[in-house]
Amino acid sequence: MSLYKRKDSSYWWIKITSPGGKRIQQSTGTEDKMKAQEYHDKIKAALWDEEKLNKKPQRTWQEATVRWLNETSDKRTTREDITKLRWLHPILGNLTLDQISLPVIDMIRERKLKEASKATVNRYLNLVRAILNRAKNEWEWIDGFPKIKMYKESNNRNRSLTPEQADKLLAELPEHQRDIVLFALYTGLRQRNVLDMEWEHVDLELRHAYVPRTKNGEALAVPLNDVAMSIITKQIGKHPQFVFSYRGKHIRYANTLAWRKALVRAGITDFRWHDLRHTWATWQRKAGTPTHELQHLGGWKTRAMVERYAHIAPEALSNAASRLNKIKLGYVLATLGENDVCKNDVSA
Active site residues: 190, 215, 274, 277, 300, 309
pLDDT at residue 309 in the model? 66
The CB-based long-range contact list for 178-185 (8 Å cut-off, 24+ gap) reads 179/231, 179/234, 179/235, 179/244, 180/244, 180/251, 180/254, 181/254, 181/276, 182/227, 182/231, 183/228, 183/231, 183/232, 183/244, 184/276, 184/277, 184/280, 185/276, 185/279, 185/280, 185/283
The DSSP 8-state label assigned to residue 60 in this structure reads B
pLDDT at residue 308 in the model? 67
pLDDT at residue 253 in the model? 85
pTM of the predicted protein model: 0.54
Residue-wise burial string across 122-147, b where 16 or more C-beta atoms lie within 10 A, e elsewhere: bbbbebbbebbebbeeebebbeebee
pLDDT at residue 74 in the model? 78
For the chain, 348 residues long, give each residue's pLDDT as a single digit of tens.
Answer: 588 888 888 888 888 887 777 787 878 878 889 988 888 888 788 777 766 666 667 789 998 999 999 898 877 778 889 999 999 999 998 889 989 999 999 999 999 988 888 888 999 999 999 999 999 999 888 989 999 999 886 655 668 889 999 999 999 999 999 999 999 999 889 888 899 999 999 999 988 888 887 776 677 888 888 889 999 999 999 999 999 999 999 998 888 889 999 999 999 988 888 899 889 888 888 888 887 888 888 877 777 666 666 656 555 555 555 555 565 455 545 555 555 545 545 443
pLDDT at residue 168 in the model? 92
